Every structure is written in structure tokens, then in C-alpha cells.
């Protein structure tokens, strides 16, 4: 069995160049590929088009790449916790494409399934539909959306094996699996890296055929985006 394990973050980023379109898994700050993001910041790759459910927060996640002005365009469904994102968007430094979250998920899934485009009612009658083909299905207008075409997908899993099989945990399963399938080159960082054959086949969420490089992450901060504490009576 071919081992897809890499031991150097520079090797993980081999082929990543300026002006590429890149996917980043995760939901909020849960399940984000933070080791890969840190490596991209260090490498200095710039003018990236980033596809992610959110844009991180100031000083963490994709916020690190925004601070370093490495992102040219952000394609997301939620960006409300990042002041630097807001500043760059309002100043015109950052191009932004905001799309419905379900459409974001389906454009990822379609990319991994070989479906070039699909019609959805989400966004019709709003700015989301501007310039897009509209067709009527069952008496209801739908807009044409295209699958994502990303050169790289960076994902984070709970467990993985040397063959690239992945298991995600909890909320981290929201976008990571579909993005893992959609990237031309998928790089997975994991909390636990095990020998091939160690994972229960019935528990694997993404088979290794979709993963090209895998490594064990060194640091996972696991921040909480918004902490709410109730007062005791």
C-alpha cells in the first residue's frame, strides 16, 4: 500500500503558487487546518482565492493570511467575526463573494462528484443571482451555480492512516469531507496518524483515494469563537 505520509510542511505545500484557488475545511474555528494555514503564511504565497465557510478571526485561522495580505478574493458564507476582513472589504483591498451556505456546500460536493453545475432556488431575487442563468423548475425559478475548481484543498481530520483514510469528529465534518473530495491536490492534517489498516473501515468518512498528502499536526489550539457563560443563581 502506498504511503501518503509527509514529514515536512514544505513538502505539503509543494506546487502551491501565487494566484491559485484554494479550499480550507472547517466550520467557524472548528476543524480548520491551522498547521497548513501557518505554513502558507510562512511561505508567503499571495493573491490566493480562498474558499471557506468563514474567514477565521483576527489573529487566527484565515485571519492570519488576511493580516499578511495573502488573500486576493474570499468566497464564503459567513465572515462576521473578523475586523480585518471587514476593513479590507470596505477599503476595496479584498474581493468578496458571499454565497448561501447550502450553495457553498453543494458547490464543494459537486466539484468532488464530477458535476460541473447545478440549479438551485437559493439566492434568486437577490444579488447572488446577478448575471446567472435562471430556469423554471416546478413553477419555481432556479439559478445556475458552478462547481468549485480548486487547485488545493487543505483539510483537518481527527484520525487518519498512512493510506490517507480520514475520520472527522463532530462539527469538523461539516465542510472538510466535501472539500477533501473536491481539491485537485488534497492535503490532510490529522490529530492522530495511524498505520494503514488501523481504522475501522465502517468508520472512515473519506477514503484515501481522495487524499494526496497527510501529516500529523504539531499544534491544535481549538479556540472557541464565541464563549457565552451564564451566571449561576
Q: What is the mean pLDDT of residues 97-115?
A: 95
Higher pLDDT, residue 86 or 23: 23
**How many CA atoms lie within 13 Å of 227's alpha carbon, on the beta-carbon side?**
4
**Over 90: is that where the pLDDT of 220 sits?**
no
Cell numbers 445556475 correspond to: 144
Residue 5 DSSP class? B
Under 8 Å between Cβ of 65 and 50: yes
Query: pTM higher than 0.85, yes or no?
Result: yes
Under 8 Å between Cβ of 187 and 155: yes
**Over 80: is that where the pLDDT of 219 sits?**
no
Q: What pLDDT shows up at residue 80?
A: 73
Q: What pLDDT shows up at residue 43?
A: 96
- Tens of pLDDT, residue by residue over 1-54, are 689 999 889 999 999 999 999 999 999 888 999 999 999 999 999 999 999 998
Residues with Cβ within 8 Å of residue 229, at least 6 apart in sequence: none
**Over 90: is that where the pLDDT of 207 sits?**
yes
- Cα distances (angstroms) measured from residue 155 to each of 128, 158, 182, 189, 210: 27, 10, 11, 6, 11
- Tens of pLDDT, residue by residue over 152-203, are 999 999 999 999 999 999 999 999 999 999 999 999 999 999 999 999 999 9
Q: What pLDDT shows up at residue 11?
A: 93
Q: Please report, for the chain, the start and end positions of each structural domain, with discontinuous segments joined by +.
A: 9-117+149-216
**Over 80: is that where the pLDDT of 223 sits?**
no
CATH superfamily of 9-117+149-216: Glutaconate Coenzyme A-transferase (3.40.1080.10)
The closest of 217, 212, 139, 137 to 172, measured between CA atoms, is 217
**Over 80: is that where the pLDDT of 226 sits?**
no
Banded pLDDT at 104 (limits 50, 70, 90): very high
**Over 70: is that where the pLDDT of 233 sits?**
no
CB atoms < 10 A from the CB of 216, how many? 15
- Tens of pLDDT, residue by residue over 112-154, are 999 999 999 999 999 999 999 999 999 999 999 999 999 999 9
The closest of 25, 64, 41 to 168, measured between CA atoms, is 25
CA distance 89 to 94: 5
**Over 90: is that where the pLDDT of 76 sits?**
yes
φ/ψ region of 157 (left if φ > 0, alpha if ψ in -120 to 50, else beta) reads beta
Under 8 Å between Cβ of 161 and 194: yes
Q: What pLDDT shows up at residue 2?
A: 85
The H-assigned helical ranges of 13-129 are 34-43, 63-67, 83-91, 101-113
Amino acid at each position: 500500500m502506498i504511503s501518503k505520509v509527509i514529514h515536512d510542511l514544505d513538502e505539503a505545500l509543494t506546487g502551491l503558487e501565487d494566484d491559485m484557488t484554494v479550499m480550507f475545511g472547517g466550520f467557524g474555528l472548528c476543524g480548520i487546518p491551522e498547521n497548513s494555514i501557518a505554513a502558507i503564511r510562512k511561505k508567503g504565497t499571495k493573491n490566493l482565492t480562498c474558499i471557506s465557510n468563514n474567514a477565521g478571526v483576527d489573529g487566527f485561522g484565515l485571519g492570519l493570511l488576511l493580516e499578511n495580505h495573502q488573500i486576493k478574493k474570499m468566497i464564503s458564507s459567513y465572515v462576521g467575526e473578523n475586523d480585518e476582513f471587514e476593513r479590507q472589504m470596505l477599503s476595496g483591498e479584498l474581493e468578496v463573494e458571499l454565497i448561501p451556505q447550502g450553495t457553498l456546500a453543494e458547490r464543494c460536493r459537486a466539484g468532488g462528484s464530477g458535476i460541473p453545475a447545478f440549479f438551485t432556488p437559493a439566492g434568486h431575487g437577490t444579488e447572488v443571482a446577478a448575471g446567472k442563468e435562471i430556469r423554471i423548475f416546478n413553477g419555481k425559478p432556479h439559478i445556475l451555480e458552478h462547481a468549485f475548481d480548486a487547485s488545493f484543498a487543505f483539510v483537518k481530520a481527527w484520525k487518519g492512516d498512512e493510506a490517507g483514510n480520514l475520520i472527522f469528529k463532530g462539527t469538523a465534518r461539516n465542510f472538510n469531507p466535501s472539500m477533501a473530495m473536491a481539491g485537485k491536490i488534497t492535503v490532510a492534517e490529522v490529530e492522530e496518524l495511524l498505520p494503514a489498516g488501523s481504522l475501522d473501515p465502517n468508520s472512515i468518512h473519506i477514503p484515501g483515494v481522495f487524499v494526496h498528502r497527510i501529516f500529523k499536526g504539531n499544534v491544535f489550539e481549538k479556540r472557541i469563537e464565541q464563549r457565552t457563560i451564564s451566571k449561576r443563581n
